[in-house]
Amino acid sequence: MKIGITYDLRDDYLAEGYSEEETAEFDRPETIHALERTLGDLGFATDRIGNIHRLTERLARGDRWNLVFNIAEGMRGMGREAQVPCLLDAYDIPYTFSDPLVLSLTLHKGMCKQVVRSLGVPTPDFCVAETEADLAKVNLPFPLFMKPIGEGTGKGVDPTSKVCAPQELLATGRRLLAQFNQPVLIETFLPGREFTVGILGTGEAARAVGAMEIHLNAEAENDVYSYKNKEYCEELVVYRWADDEMAKQSQKIALQAWRGLGCRDGGRVDLRADPNGVPNFMEINPLAGLHPEHSDLPILCTKAGISYKQLIGTIVQSAWKRALAAHPANHIEIAS
């Protein structure tokens, strides 16, 4: 069985002149090495494809794969994470992780929260500012939290993201609107414990593998799991396995959001407790980082007793089961 690998390599974009922050969501070479090596250890033949431009070239040449392991984030637009899956759908090539609809919806934090709220999942009150004029219309109690509507890896998040007065709201809002050229999500600040929950599987087969609590060191930026804190997590963050009642409640809420949104194969849900101690949905990552030591999902799985090889194998099995359901004639057994 031949598995292609699609990805955006950070070094490629840095070489083109993009900044460290602009490329923060893209993968390091060691992630691709680890993924390729692990798929090989699982018995698969692998083929490095690369980003959407390389994928387009390969498809035009007639290249095809039994399955594509897709971790490409995309560079431009609110549908950037959906671009590779759209192209693979057009060529009827199965792939890992969520479909274009889910990836576009979940990238837009405001629309995602609208859907999550309709599912009955607790999430803080929020509004979206598309222009500077919208900032003056915000009618939510302070403190508030502000971030770009469609970024990941903590991009745009720093200590000024927590605002406690109208003048701070205006200053942070203007900065984010200018810097990222996209709407700003403004939501009620959650003061409690912060968790990330790992999910493996699809639909009713999905399961929460555990909750990991985020603890910031004294040297970290306060109150926020910011871009800096994530980028230098080895020095600034302590990840602690959490198994108390609040952590278990976080897992239930995360799984409800995962299934309700239609996410597939594996990923993460980020939650933080409100003043009443209820974990609230903040974000969902259906295309989670897979660096063996640096990314939250592999770190969490390791703490849960799931090796990197088991993590990647479980993701492939979930995706291949879906592919077989769509095309039973293409039956290929893969090792469990």
Residues 314 and 198 in one domain: yes
Assigned domain for 117 exists: no
* Exposure string over 154-175, b if 16+ CB within 10 A, otherwise e: bbbbbeebbbeeeebbeebbeb
Residues 147 and 211 in one domain: no
pLDDT of residue 303: 95
pLDDT of residue 217: 83
pLDDT of residue 85: 98
Residues 181 and 200 in one domain: no
Assigned domain for 137 exists: yes
Residues 92 and 31 in one domain: yes
Residues 174 and 204 in one domain: no
Residues 139 and 248 in one domain: no
Assigned domain for 333 exists: no
pLDDT of residue 233: 75
Neighbours of 56 (CB within 10 A): 13
Residues 17 and 86 in one domain: yes
CATH number of the domain that 260 lies in? 3.30.470.20
Are 38 and 100 in contact, with CB atoms under 8 Å apart? no
* Helix, coil or strand: residue 15: helix
Residues 266 and 216 in one domain: yes
Assigned domain for 43 exists: yes
Q: Determine the Cα–Cα distance for residues 126 and 120; give it in Å rounded to an integer.
A: 15
Only one residue has tokens 């999905």, namely: 206
Our CA angle for 236, 159, 166, nearest 5°, is 165
Residues 313 and 199 in one domain: yes
Residues 83 and 180 in one domain: no
Q: At what angle do helices 308-326 and 296-303 cross, to 10 degrees?
A: 110
Long-range Cβ contacts of 227-235 (<8 Å, 24+ apart):
227/21, 227/24, 227/153, 227/154, 227/155, 227/156, 227/157, 227/158, 228/154, 228/158, 229/154, 230/153, 230/154, 231/24, 231/153, 231/154, 233/294, 234/294
Number of structural domains (the chain) is: 3
Domain coverage including residue 241: 194-318
Residues 66 and 166 in one domain: no
Are 242 and 273 in contact, with CB atoms under 8 Å apart? no
Q: Which of 138, 161, 188 is the last residue of a domain?
A: 188
Q: Which of 156, 188, 220 is the last residue of a domain?
A: 188
Q: Which of 81, 97, 113 is the last residue of a domain?
A: 97
What Cα–Cα distance (Å) separates residue 12 from each residue in 21, 49, 58, 76, 132?
Answer: 14, 14, 18, 15, 34
CATH number of the domain that 167 lies in? 3.30.1490.20
pLDDT of residue 328: 72
Assigned domain for 46 exists: yes
Record the pTM.
Answer: 0.92
pLDDT of residue 130: 97
What percent of the chain clears pLDDT 90, i.e. is strictly above it? 82
Q: What is the pLDDT along the chain (336 residues), one digit of tens a residue?
A: 999 999 999 999 999 998 888 888 899 999 999 999 999 999 999 999 999 999 999 999 999 999 999 999 998 899 999 999 999 999 999 999 999 999 999 999 999 999 999 999 999 999 999 999 999 999 999 999 999 999 987 888 889 999 999 999 999 999 999 999 999 999 999 999 999 999 999 999 999 999 999 888 877 777 777 667 676 677 878 899 999 999 999 999 999 999 999 999 999 999 999 999 999 999 999 999 999 998 999 999 999 999 999 999 999 999 999 999 887 766 565 554
Assigned token pair, 30:
């060691």
Assigned domain for 336 exists: no
Residues 269 and 220 in one domain: yes
Assigned domain for 334 exists: no
pLDDT of residue 273: 98
* Exposure string over 178-187, b if 16+ CB within 10 A, otherwise e: eebebbbbbb
Assigned domain for 293 exists: yes
For residue 228, the one-letter residue type is K
